[in-house]
Structure formats: C-alpha cells, structure tokens
Chain A
Amino acid sequence: MHYIPLKSDKFGNTRVLVSQIKKLAARIRKDAAKVQADRDRTWSLFDSKQLGVVMDYAFNHLASGTDAPFNLGQFNREISVPDTQEGHFAGFLGRCLHDNLEKNFEAASSIMACSVVRNSLRGQGSGKLDPIGEELG
C-alpha cells in the first residue's frame, strides 16, 4: 500500500509526486519482470494458489514486527506437498539434518532405510496391526 498526498510542503507539489510515483511504478514493474524471469528460469514460479498462501505468510511475517527477513524460497518449499518420493525424502533430510548434520547423519540414513522396508511390506491398503507386545532386538 502506497499513499501519495495531494498536498505536501515537505515533498513538493502534486506534479512532482505524480512524476515520482510514475518512476516508482516503472521500477516495480521492471523489478517484478526481472524476478519473474529469474523464477521462470529456475522453475520456481508460484501458481495462483501458492501465491495467495505465500502472500498471507509474508503479511503475517510483516505484522509480527520481526527484524528477520522473509525467506521466500523457504516458504515456497514449505507450502507445497512434494510430488515425488525424492521430495519426501529431501523434506525429511531438510528437517532432521538442519543444523544437526553430524549428529543426526547416521540416524537419518537408518530411518530412511527403515521407511523403505516398511513401505515394501505395505500391501494394497494397510490394516490395523494387532499389538503383540514385542519389539526388534
């Protein structure tokens, strides 16, 4: 939201302000086109649904009054459910190994291995598992 007063002693008259807003509009359009081209090139354009969610987050971030910058790339990843198995694994690694690379490295590989085995055991529609009160040693 940008408000330009019709009268102002401090910033000049309406003609000056209108010319300034034209420059500002041109600059916004130019930068928006550049960002769009960059996102297009890197296959990271938002669709209209994602854009709504990201904007919502961006305004909430602004309203929180935090000094930290808004990380658009991060939200782009967080708001979309991965389409591929690779995305699911990468999502888990991103979370488990964030700032914990050395500590959780082995555990992450072990969990991924176990998930692969569990998935291989799932048939068409998984039913309830009856408790047997026993675990692997």
Chain B
Amino acid sequence: MIKLGLTHRSLGILHPAVVFNDELKRTCRQATEQFLNVDQSCSYKHPKTDEKCINSSFGHAKGHQPQDGSWIIKGSFVKNDKFDVDGFIQLASAEVERLLKVLNNSGMDRQYHRHLAAAEYRKKLRAIPDQTFWTNSFTRKWADQFNLKFGGIAGAALEWKASVCYGCLFGRPEYKLPCNHVLCSDCVREFDESPPETAYPGIALHRSCILCESRAGDRWPTTLRYRPSLGGIRVLSLDGGGVRGIVELSILQRLEQLLDFDMPLGEIFDLMVGTSAGKDSR
C-alpha cells in the first residue's frame, strides 16, 4: 500500500512529500531510536583504567561492563550525544529531495529512473568512509575460533545469517552470494550484470558483491537463479497407497520420456513431497 502511494501519479513526477512521507519519516525516526537503544554502546569509560562499557541501553541492567563480561562499576547508561536523530532525518530528507530533483529533471521513464537510482545507491555504498563492517562482525572472533577448530569437519563450519537485504533495506534476504552477503529477489534482478545478448529470464549474473565489492576467487562471477515474474513455486505431490505408488512412478517416467528435456524430471520442481509409498517414490 505504501509502495503504490509513493509516486505523485497525477503529475507523473516523484514528489518528496509523497516519496518520503510522514509515515516513512516516522519509521526512520523509530529505527534510529531502536538503533540507539539496542545497538549503541554506552559511552562510559573508566577514568583510571580506560575500560569502556559495551552495554547498550537495552542491556544495561547490571551497570557498566567491558567486552569480557566482567563488571566495571555501577551506573546508568551514558548516552552518546553525537547521534542527532533530527539531524539524521533532515539529512535523509535533503538527500531524497536532491535525488528526486535529478530524476525528475532527467525527463526519462521509470525504468531509466530505476537504473539511475540503483547506480546512485551503488555509488553511495562505495562512498561509506569506513567499510570494515561489511567483512567484520562483532561476533566473528569466536566464530573464527570455532571454524579453526571444527571447520574441517563436514557441516560444522559456521556461517552468518543475514536478516536484512542491505542492497535496498526493503526486501527479504533470500539469495546468498559467494561472500555470504544476502540479497532480496528485487536486488538480484536490479543489480544483474548479464550482457543483453546473453540475458535470460530467471538467471542473474553478478560479477562482484555490491556491498563488499568482493570479486576474487573461483566462485565469482556468480549466477543466481530467481523465480521469474510469472513463475510460481513448483511442487510435485505424490500420493501413497502401496503398489499404486508404482503407477505414479511409471506415469512420471513416461512423462520424462515424452518431454525429453535432457534432464531428470525432478529438476523441474522446487519441492517434492509424498505420503507413504509416495514418499519412497521421491
């Protein structure tokens, strides 16, 4: 609903008051407050030992604590005054206005605007002064230690799960890149680098990670298979019933021969489920 209401359709242009409307501004404000309460560390530093408190406002019940979990001193959360919520929203608002002005002045269609906006997003990612957070996680230290010990054992290596698509901040992260960053289906398509002559629906080519710029190694460039716009989830459901399970197997075998796709029929489906004998047929 928000998405549909974001453009000033009557005028055919993008208006800042519609694109970055009050509801989205409120969302941004709440997000910054959530960040300050949950992620932002306390600013307390012990005057003699220089030990820093790493507790957030949300987890400050025990007082000031350093990284190792010991206890420094009793006290309330010390706020970092450097984060100005109003200033943050104003900066974002000004940037939305600037971008929309450029897009509206370009006089091109929406596809072109999307391309420009995606290119601008990519440029902004490159311009982040400190990029180390793409590759460093504050939990990684012990995970590295774990992988060093047990990573060689099949299935034991730890990988990080992404909860947000940093390619757009709106979609659900679904497609994993070789560097372990995860994009939503829209971003997989929008940042597709397939040459026009080889582009194929449902397959996107990424030469590097749009976030960390990783491109080294034999897993790059990578191809990602996504569900085409008109495609649904393909499920093969097989009934049970003892010997009748053989009947459906014969039908499938015959179908495979008739279709002659040069690949097993099972490759066509995203999910295969079955009951009783149908379960064995899978």
Interface positions of A (Cβ within 8 A of B) = 60-61, 63-69, 71, 73-75, 77-82, 84-123, 125-132, 134-136
Please give me the residue from chain A that is nearest to B132 by CB atom.
A100
Complexed CA–CA distance, A78 and B182 (Å): 14
Q: Which residues of B contact A101 (CB under 8 A)?
A: 40, 80, 82-83
- 3 closest A-B pairs by beta carbon, nearest first, are A69-B69, A89-B31, A113-B95
19 contacts between A and B (CB under 8 A): A60-B146, A65-B145, A68-B67, A85-B31, A87-B31, A90-B32, A96-B128, A97-B83, A106-B91, A108-B88, A108-B128, A109-B92, A111-B128, A113-B20, A113-B93, A118-B170, A129-B118, A132-B115, A135-B119
Complexed CA–CA distance, A106 and B124 (Å): 10
Q: Are A110 and B14 in contact (CB under 8 A)?
A: no
Q: What 1/0 flags go to B89-103 for Cβ under 8 Å of A? A: 101111110011011
Contact of B163 among A80, A122, A128 (CB under 8 A): A80
Contact of A111 among B39, B125, B158, B229 (CB under 8 A): B125
Please give me the residue from chain B that is nearest to A111 by CB atom.
B124
Q: Are A118 and B168 in contact (CB under 8 A)?
A: yes
Contact of A93 among B3, B39, B199, B229 (CB under 8 A): B39
Complexed CA–CA distance, A109 and B169 (Å): 12
Q: Are A78 and B161 in contact (CB under 8 A)?
A: yes
Q: Are A91 and B163 in contact (CB under 8 A)?
A: yes
Complexed CA–CA distance, A85 and B3 (Å): 12
- Decide: A96 near B69, CB < 8 A? Known: A117-B14, A126-B114, A132-B112: no
Task: Give the shortest distance, in Å, between A27 (CB) and chain B (any CB).
Answer: 19
Q: Are A117 and B192 in contact (CB under 8 A)?
A: no
Complexed CA–CA distance, A62 and B128 (Å): 35
- Decide: A90 near B31, CB < 8 A? Known: A68-B67, A105-B88: yes
Complexed CA–CA distance, A109 and B88 (Å): 6
Please give me the residue from chain B that is nearest to A131 by CB atom.
B196
Please give me the residue from chain A that is nearest to B102 by CB atom.
A136
Complexed CA–CA distance, A66 and B186 (Å): 39
Complexed CA–CA distance, A130 and B82 (Å): 42
Please give me the residue from chain A that is nearest to B121 by CB atom.
A114
Contact of B189 among A85, A100, A127 (CB under 8 A): A127
Most-contacted residue by chain A among B27, B82, B102, B199 (CB, 10 A): B27
Within 8 A of A (CB), among B104-121: 110-121
Complexed CA–CA distance, A89 and B94 (Å): 18
Q: Are B92 and A95 in contact (CB under 8 A)?
A: no
Task: Give the shortest distance, in Å, between B105 (CB) and chain A (any CB).
Answer: 11
Task: Give the shortest distance, in Å, between A58 (CB) and chain B (any CB).
Answer: 11
Complexed CA–CA distance, A65 and B144 (Å): 11
Contact of A119 among B3, B172, B193 (CB under 8 A): B3
Q: Which residues of A contact B127 (CB under 8 A)?
A: 107, 110
Please give me the residue from chain B that is nearest to A96 by CB atom.
B133
Please give me the residue from chain A that is nearest to B172 by CB atom.
A81
* B72 lies within 8 A of chain A by Cβ: no
Task: Give the shortest distance, in Å, between A47 (CB) and chain B (any CB).
Answer: 16
Task: Give the shortest distance, in Å, between B147 (CB) and chain A (any CB).
Answer: 8
Complexed CA–CA distance, A98 and B195 (Å): 37
Contact of B133 among A68, A95, A109, A128 (CB under 8 A): A95
Q: Which residues of B contact A132 (CB under 8 A)?
A: 112, 115
* B149 lies within 8 A of chain A by Cβ: yes
Contact of A123 among B34, B102, B110, B120 (CB under 8 A): B110
Complexed CA–CA distance, A135 and B119 (Å): 6
Q: Are B39 and A73 in contact (CB under 8 A)?
A: no
Q: Are A128 and B189 in contact (CB under 8 A)?
A: yes
Complexed CA–CA distance, A79 and B160 (Å): 9
- Decide: A89 near B118, CB < 8 A? Known: A71-B139, A109-B92, A120-B19: no
Q: Are B170 and A135 in contact (CB under 8 A)?
A: no
Q: Are B129 and A104 in contact (CB under 8 A)?
A: yes
* B272 lies within 8 A of chain A by Cβ: no
